[in-house]
Amino acid sequence: MGCAPSLRVSRGTGPGSPGDSAEGNAGLDGHEAWESRGKSRVGSWDSSCMQRSKVSLGELNIGPMKLSAESIQVLLVFPDGDPQGLAFQTACSHAGFLCSLASSLATAHELFIQNLHHLVIVDARPNSDIKPEQLASFLRKIKGSEYSVLVAVTRELFAEPDDGFLLSLLSAGFVRMFPQNSSVAACYHELLQLHFGEVRVQLKLRACNALFAALEHTQEAVQIASSEHVIQEWHGILFGHRKAGDWVPQQVRIAPVTATGRNVRQYISLKRASFQNNKQTDKLKEEDDGQPPDGYQHRHKDRRKGSLDIRSMTSRGSDGGSGQHRRNSSMARIHSMTIEAPITKVINIINVAQESSPVTVAEALDRVLEILRTTELYSPQLAARGDEDPHTSDLVGGLMTDGIRKLSGNDYILSKTSHHVHISQSMPASLSDVPSHIADILENADSWDFDIFELERATHGRPLVYLGLKMFTHFGVAAYLGCQETTLRAWLQLIEANYHSGNAYHNSTHAADVLHATAFFLAQETVKGCLDPMDEISALIAATVHDVDHPGRTNSFLCNAGSDLAVLYNDTAVLESHHAALAFQLTIRDDKANIFREIERTEYRALRQAIIDMVLATEMTRHFEHVNKFANNINKPGVDDDAVSLNDGGDCSVCVPRTPEMRLLIKRMLIKCADISNPCRALPLCVEWAGRISEEYFAQTEEEKLTGLPVVMPVFDRNTCSIPKSQISFIDYFITDMFDAWDAFADLPELMQNLADNYQYWKGMDEQSLKTLRPPPDL
């Protein structure tokens, strides 16, 4: 849009002179003519009077709010050289107003877009070429124009009292009519009335709108402070206090209105107001205990800056930082999301609590916030100390990381073929067909002292099928799934055949041991009261398949070796993902062993999801997440009528709600405890399991050294490892806290006594500097 010759901005500098002028593309000649004529018109008026009458630009009072006013901008729309326009220009100069001149609709529109003038005076006389209604229509469509005052200059007298011309101007958006009068004094007096009337009203409305828009969109809570920076209250925008009956700030020290491009700051001190919504908001009171009403602290020294700079939502001008404004708006939307993560709510609550706390507490809360903003909330961090136990660090490194270290280029390829056991003994069709010596051993299967190794020897390394038949029959698995007992037997045989009998630890005997522990836990009254039949069935199946096709090497080893499985599962929960996936592959592709064939699709989906979740829960990198979530939930007082009491009296002083979320945590904790329950077994069983897991780690270390892979757990060197030290570290770091929480829930005194006895056994071995499983015969 081009600039007409009459486009000019005049800035008044003193009495009797229009001051400095700037003209658009047309040069200065036309303006000099306007200036000389303006001086001659003003000459008859006493300039000293005008100086004394200069408009004061002090503070505006909006009830209890004080607003530092900005310089008033005026847009004059008159034909070039019009005496009425010259008179208003001169009056603006002496009033200290910033004046822009335009002689056409186009230039007036352009100037208004650039500056959003406070006052627009338009020539609306019949003999003028300006079309006032059209101009007003254009201007009112511009955002922010609702705060501008439009004045029409009309002829001196209307022909009739009900002249329709006046109504048309009012309908177009004009708020005042000025009968033509080219006297500078008359124009000056009109400007004064407009300034102290309509213009100031609009300034107040704009400032209030900017303040409340800023409060609505600010991404931080706004503190309400006294002039001494003493916090009175907090504006609860982030916490839902938006109803009419809620309190509003008592005194906000804020600079909310910044006109883009001009850097005009308005300082607002907003004193507390009262809103009525059937009742008046409570007044602040000092209380002896220092606690504010309704849970808000209201008297303490502020540790933050006393004011916030917030850009007005109706800031005027077109230059300066539109990209920054967009980013600020985006951040405001993020912080006002209706879908808010629980951790975000926690951080917001702590932020508020921090402001009402002593300095020492606030500093501690800073540390809390720092921890909460990390991603590893449940993973403990071992301090880097020179005296750190290498057994602990190696166990953590080997079990809780994916072991992404420098690779040697060697690949450890897991066999894709199933490891079937050659069956030399006929399998039982049902429990009635089990040999008597095996049946005698299974009679003790409901006891925690059950000897799984005795069953292993009696079944020639196939304890999973026999124990599985016993446990699945006890819990009615075949009946629940609607399958034949022969199908269940075939499935157990199929799963056991895919465990590696050559592994020292991760073989079908370990699977049978975990199945036994799972069944034992499911039989406990508290557990039974929290879980549904589907939960029990999924737990038994998950325990059976949780380590199927385990290669006898850790996830870290597979990731370092770049194995096919590590590539397939992106180095994340590699083995656990493989166990769950293979279990369903084996089951579904063999119709004779498909125990899920008869259940409905929706039930199968729910059962499958539960099994997968429990198998993945055995992955050690999320060990502390599962344990801490479980511990945090069982420590909550019961609030559900359907909650399960953990006390014999049933008073629910410590209860567990029977919610899907809690059942999920219980199942995860159950299989985790079953999976690594070896330290809680009777001492002979505990020692045997310790020897087997150590042997598997020894073999891995030897293979890593042989193939040039990074050694994940260097302390597990067959020639130097102290097995007692490794067991002590394992119990201290992984077992004690987990079983303390599980015992608090399931009440397992026998296990906890075994754990204490076994720990003392390993401590005694270590104090004697013994590195073996058992003391020498001569000791």
Distance of CA 142 to the CA centre of its chain: 38
3-state secondary structure of 300: strand
Helix 660-675 vs helix 601-617: angle between axes, to the nearest 10 degrees?
Answer: 50
Query: Got the DSSP string for 383-414?
Result: ---TT--HHHHHHHHHHSS-------S---PP
Nearest alpha-carbon partner for 677 in 628, 624, 750, 606: 750
Q: Report the distance separating Cα 69 and Cα 373, nearest Å.
A: 43
CA-CA distances (angstroms) from residue 681 to 227, 451, 456, 674, 752?
A: 68, 10, 16, 11, 9
444 annotated ligand-binding residue: no
507 annotated ligand-binding residue: yes
The Cα angle at residue 259 between residues 60 and 18, in degrees rounded to 5: 75
510 annotated ligand-binding residue: yes
Q: Reply yes or no on whether 298 is catalytic.
A: no
93 annotated ligand-binding residue: no
> 553-570: string of b/e by CB count within 10 Å (b at 16+)?
bbbbbbbbbbbbbbeebe
547 annotated ligand-binding residue: yes
Is residue 383 within 8 A of residue 398, CB to CB? The reply is no
CA-CA distances (angstroms) from residue 173 to 125, 152, 195, 303?
A: 16, 10, 18, 49
675 annotated ligand-binding residue: yes
3-state secondary structure of 165: helix
506 annotated ligand-binding residue: yes
Largest CA distance in the chain: 131
Other C-beta atoms lying within 10 Å of the C-beta of residue 585: 10
Q: Report the distance separating Cα 299 and Cα 356, nearest Å.
A: 8
Token reading at 410: 């060697």
Q: Report the distance separating Cα 377 and Cα 372, nearest Å.
A: 7
Residue 378 DSSP one-character state = S
The Cα angle at residue 367 between residues 361 and 372, in degrees rounded to 5: 120
SS3 breakdown of the chain: % helix, strand, coil, rounded to 5?
A: 50, 10, 40
328 annotated ligand-binding residue: no
Helix 533-545 vs helix 485-497: angle between axes, to the nearest 10 degrees?
Answer: 40
508 annotated ligand-binding residue: yes
Q: Report the distance separating Cα 646 and Cα 315, nearest Å.
A: 61
Listed in sequence order, the residues at least 6 apart from 165 whose beta carbon sits closer than 8 Å to its beta carbon are 154, 158
Catalytic residue among 109, 506, 578, 626: 506
Residues of each annotated binding site: 506-510, 546-547, 675, 727
Residues of each annotated binding site for AMP: 506-510, 547, 675, 727
Residues belonging to the active site: 506
Residues of each annotated binding site for Zn(2+): 510, 546-547, 675
